[in-house]
Amino acid sequence: MRAARIHEYGDASVIRVDEVACPAPGPGQVLIRVAATSFNPSEVGLRSGLLRSALPVDLPYTLGWDVAGTVVAAGAHAGVLSPGDRVVGRLDAGGAAAEFAVADVDCLVRAPSAVPLAHAGALPVAGLTAWQAVVEHARVRPGQRVLVNGAGGGVGGFAVQLAAHAGASVVATASPRSAGAVRRLGADRVVDYTVSAVGEVLGEPVDVILNLVPLSPGASAGLLSALRPGGTVVSITNPVEPPAGARVWAMTFVARNDVGQLRALVDLVDGGAVRIDVAGSRPLADIASVHRDAEAGRTRGKIILVP
């Protein structure tokens, strides 16, 4: 089978699509014919070696944390999953950027039926990150005003929808390239961060800030000027330092794998409350180009990679 692997750390040229042996499922595992994986920006950090201390891997390493596909074989004790089942999940050990992938059954759920199976490959990592930011940590409630900073990315699209589904009024920052998509996903107002500092144009303060992009100290202070006293800040990137004297709860978190939350997301997709906004579909052979485009700022939303 073909698999996109790195044999060393470096720029996008270290990614190779190799011919490798097809894996076999062990106890409690299934073999999946991959319909799609998706690109996540954190894979750039893994590939380049920036995350090697936080996320050590054995080389060569097959990329791909998101998987959507069809079970083709099951090992012993595979539970209720059997060949023919359509599944989606997050593979913390990677391996989904390939024609076939092995996965533990306890990290998989049934794929949504309302969308093409390949599109479900965009859901796990970004969807779980957004769920934990919006629902678990920020605890967004009806009537709140929520600012999603960096709404044009994959996590941002889900965060906008989940905050709106919770009953909040959503203000989002996005570039002109992403503004239309962000509005369609439920943002009540979109601020073009390439023109205006959000804290200078909002007027009324917000109750919650969800920060999804890396911030410099100056940008952090400008963003926090939009927050009401006692408001909540959740950041998925660098820690956000509140201004002196402000009553702000600020935290940074790394999303964890949670099949219960993933199952809830699938239910929202099937119920029409959450859309999987696939910005592009590329063949697996283009994976290095996708990395280059992302590093150059030429991508938006979720891009799926199809073997």
Distance from C-alpha of 5 to C-alpha of 20, rounded to nearest angstrom: 10
Residue 49 pLDDT level (bands cut at 50, 70, 90): very high
In the predicted model, is pLDDT for residue 25 greater than 90?
Answer: yes
Q: What is the pTM of this model?
A: 0.94
pLDDT at residue 247, as a whole number: 54
276 vs 53, residue with greater confidence? 276
Q: What is the mean pLDDT of the segment spanning 113-117?
A: 98
Q: For residue 1, what is the DSSP state?
A: -
- In 3D, which of 89, 104, 93 has the Cα closest to residue 26? 104
What's the full length of the chain, in residues?
307
In the predicted model, is pLDDT for residue 250 greater than 70?
Answer: no
Q: What is the mean pLDDT of the segment spanning 144-165?
A: 96
pLDDT at residue 81, as a whole number: 94
Task: Please tell me the least confidently modeled range out of 60-64, 113-117, 134-138, 250-254.
Answer: 250-254
194 vs 304, residue with greater confidence? 304
pLDDT at residue 201, as a whole number: 66
Question: Which tokens go with 125?
Answer: 């990592």
Residue 202 pLDDT level (bands cut at 50, 70, 90): confident
Task: Please tell me the least confidently modeled range out of 57-61, 132-136, 200-204, 300-304.
Answer: 200-204
Residue 242 pLDDT level (bands cut at 50, 70, 90): low
Residue 140 pLDDT level (bands cut at 50, 70, 90): very high
Task: Please tell me the least confidently modeled range out of 41-45, 110-114, 191-195.
Answer: 191-195
Task: Indicate the SS3 state at residue 282.
Answer: strand
Exposure string (b/e) for 37-58, b if CB count within 10 Å is 16 or more? bbbbbbbbebbbeebeeeeeee
Q: Which long-range contacts (CB under 8 A, 24 or more apart) does 173-176 make?
A: 173/147, 173/148, 173/149, 173/198, 174/150, 175/300
Helix axes of 124-131 and 259-270: crossing angle, nearest 10 degrees: 100
Question: Which tokens go with 221?
Answer: 């202070």
Pairing of strands 29-38, 302-306: antiparallel
Exposure string (b/e) for 62-80, b if CB count within 10 Å is 16 or more? bbbbbbbbbbebbbeebee
What tens digit of pLDDT does each residue of 223-232 get?
Answer: 888 888 888 9
DSSP string computed for 120-155: GGGSHHHHHHHHIIIIIIS---TT-EEEEETTTBHH
pLDDT at residue 229, as a whole number: 86
Residue 192 pLDDT level (bands cut at 50, 70, 90): confident
Peptide bond before 60: cis, by omega within 30 degrees of 0? yes
